[in-house]
Amino acid sequence: MRFGLILGDQLHHQLATLKALDRIRDVILMAEVVEEATYVAHHPQKIALIFSAMRHFAKELKAEGWRVRYHAFQSDSPIRSLLDFVESQQQLLPVTELVITHCGEYRLQQQIEQYWSQQLQLPVQCLNDERFFCSPEQFRHWASRYQTLRMEYFYREMRKQTGYLMQGQQPFGEQWNYDSANRKTWAGNPPLPAPLHFEHDQIDLDVLELVEREFSRHSGSLDNFRWGTTRSNALLALEHFITHSLPHFGDYQDAMVQDSDMLFHSLLSPYLNCGLLLPKEVCDAAEAAYHAGHAPLNAVEGFIRQILGWREYVRGIYWLYMPEYASRNALQHSAPLPQFYWTGRTRMNCMAECFRNTFQHAYAHHIQRLMVTGNFALLTGVDPQQISEWYLAVYADAYEWVELPNTLGMVMHADSGLMASKPYAASGNYIHKMSDYCKHCSYNVKTRTELDSCPFNSLYWYFMIRNEAKFRTHPRMGMIYRQLDKLKDRHQIISHAQQLLSQINEL
Ligand code: FAD
Ligand code: DLZ
Ligand code: SF4
């Protein structure tokens, strides 16, 4: 008899573990455990989504004839970790081997490789995770051929490999990337799709009650929990996105709007990351919408690029450079994370809006993460590990393999430009251009050094001044430094920014 351990982010019926095992002879193990639920202070909605999706998945496996041993969460249980659970089952059943699919996170994969087999006195077989388009080995091979690992070149290879939006070796529309067409602001038209709500069944209700009781000290509210927790609901979410939002996804991809939390984004990342959806079926559905004339090329290309390009690329970077990647800090940032990242209370309206979305829905769309909360952490020199822990905790889709490269590489420029050739630093002007947040803010986005000036403005220039030695000669940043040279209030900017940094929790 073999055990197959299935993790909370491996909830797919075609998982390699299930394909390798025999439903009559072998036993599936699944466990809700303290160690996984608390290695960061996960948003309660993230825990509820994972526990409920795990319970539904276990029920489906049983209905298909699998033998499943499931450990439901108990805070006082002696079973604290996944290893404890495997050990406890080993006492009860004559097991000869443990089979797992490669973990998403380095932390757990290392534990398994380093000591599980020895501690259990059991062979452990680790299978490749076939849910992705590109394996870590394939990515390593791709990376070995390039000096700089730009996403765009990786993406083009993946387009050729999969044939998405391709005519032979050439892209549809003769252009690989329609990003420049995807920068519109949104002022009420076209209307936003109605958000999708899923009825809670008894499993959801039990889990919501459990999470409320056990994890209420974690930041974030359960009140607006509206994630689907089964594969069939995740498929409905996919259909809802393709029908209502995909046609506008491209145009408004970078827009931000007061009180509009999702705009035309898909909200599919939590399902993709926990296994309820496969990236291939999501890209297939988007491409089919293009061929059916339902969505334009800029939208479909933009969407497929996020999944086939960015998502696969960040996973490749993660496995190529871990564990050393996690401690990178090229700009030597060490400031503590401001308290308002956990409370959401700040007078900066753009930040408050992103925090509201985050804590109400365990969600924020990409540009909120990158250009508002991320940009602020970059400008204020927050310790990359602290901001990284925050992103890993607060989103329903957060797993280290995708969160870490986005945070260290895209947001914090902590990997010396490995992922992003220049830092994504921006002043209030960018936020003003891409959103209506500044209209609702008590700070003034037009000034730099007044008492009520937008903090992003002086902090932006102070960041450029602090890092002048690194960036002045950067080929894509020359214009910024030419602008800086023309500023007459450089000294005031420095003292204003220093003043803000000294009382950052008051902003
Ligand atoms: P959409 O805008 O609808 O995009 C479609 C899909 O493309 C997403 O579902 C996602 O699977 C994929 N995608 C888009 N952008 C990225 C990207 N940069 N990297 C990887 N996949 C991408 N995404 C996560 O899935 N988990 C994380 O923990 C995570 N942490 C992030 C941290 C930071 C600091 C930043 C800047 C981005 C992070 N992202 C993360 C990427 C991105 O913000 C989310 O994937 C996206 O906001 C999820 O919302 P959506 O499903 O509505 O995405
Ligand atoms: C994120 C998460 C949480 C909150 N809880 C569990 C759990 O109790 N049991 C489980 O198997 N998985 C959980 N997960 C997902 C794991 O953390 C994830 O599988 C690992 O980080 C490896 O990617
Ligand atoms: Fe944000 Fe500045 Fe605009 Fe206020 S004025 S919303 S702080 S960018």
pLDDT tens for 342-393 read: 999 999 999 999 999 999 999 999 999 999 999 999 999 999 999 999 999 9
- Report the mean per-residue pLDDT for the chain: 96
Nearest to 377 by CA among 349, 340, 325, 328: 340
Tell me the β-bridge partners of 100: 5, 126
The CA distance from 325 to 316, in Å, is: 12
Ligand 1 centre distance from Cα of residue 3 (Å): 33
The CA distance from 121 to 83, in Å, is: 12
At 181 the pLDDT is 73
pLDDT tens for 468-483 read: 999 999 999 999 999 9
- Superfamily of domain covering 340-506: DNA Cyclobutane Dipyrimidine Photolyase, subunit A, domain 3 (1.10.579.10)
At 183 the pLDDT is 79
Nearest atom in ligand 1 to the alpha carbon of residue 410 is: 36
- Ligand at minimal distance from the CA of 215 is 2
Which residues have C-beta atoms less than 6 Å from ligand 3?
348-350, 428, 431-432, 437-438, 441, 443, 445, 454-456
- Examine the pLDDT at 174 and tell me if it is beyond 80: yes
The CA distance from 366 to 302, in Å, is: 13
Q: In sequence order, what are the residues at sequence separation of 6 or more whose Cβ sits closer than 8 angstroms to the Cβ of residue 406?
A: 314, 369, 370, 391
Q: Give the residue range(s) of CATH 1.25.40.80 domains in the chain.
A: 136-198+217-321
Give the phi and the psi of residue 171 in degrees, each rounded to 5: -75, 145
Which residues have C-beta atoms less than 6 Å from ligand 1?
265-269, 272-273, 303, 306-307, 310-311, 314, 365-366, 369-370, 374, 391, 395, 397-399, 402-403, 406-407, 410-411
Nearest to 501 by CA among 345, 369, 382: 382
User: Which residue's C-alpha comes closest to atom 48 of ligand 1?
Assistant: 269
- Section 294-301 average pLDDT: 96
At 46 the pLDDT is 98
Global pTM exceeds 0.85: yes
457 neighbors 484 (Cβ within 8 angstroms): no
Nearest to 492 by CA among 449, 456, 462: 449
- The least confident of 11-15, 178-182, 345-349, 413-417 is 178-182
The CA distance from 466 to 406, in Å, is: 23
At 33 the pLDDT is 98
Angle subtended at Cα 275 by Cα 126 and Cα 1, rounded to the nearest 5 degrees: 40
Ligand 2 centre distance from Cα of residue 93 (Å): 24
- Please report where in the chains the tokens 């800029």 appear, as a residue: 298
* Domain 2-127 annotated CATH 3.40.50.620: yes
Ligand 2 close to Cβ of residue 436 (< 6 A): no
Q: In sequence order, what are the residues at sequence separation of 6 or more whose Cβ sits closer than 8 angstroms to the Cβ of residue 385?
A: 326, 327, 329
- Section 152-172 average pLDDT: 96
What CATH code would you report for 136-198+217-321?
A: 1.25.40.80
pLDDT tens for 115-147 read: 999 999 999 999 999 999 999 999 999 999 998
Q: Give the residue range(s) of CATH 3.40.50.620 domains in the chain.
A: 2-127
- Section 164-187 average pLDDT: 89
User: Which residue's C-alpha comes closest to atom 4 of ligand 2?
Assistant: 37
- Examine the pLDDT at 435 and tell me if it is beyond 90: yes
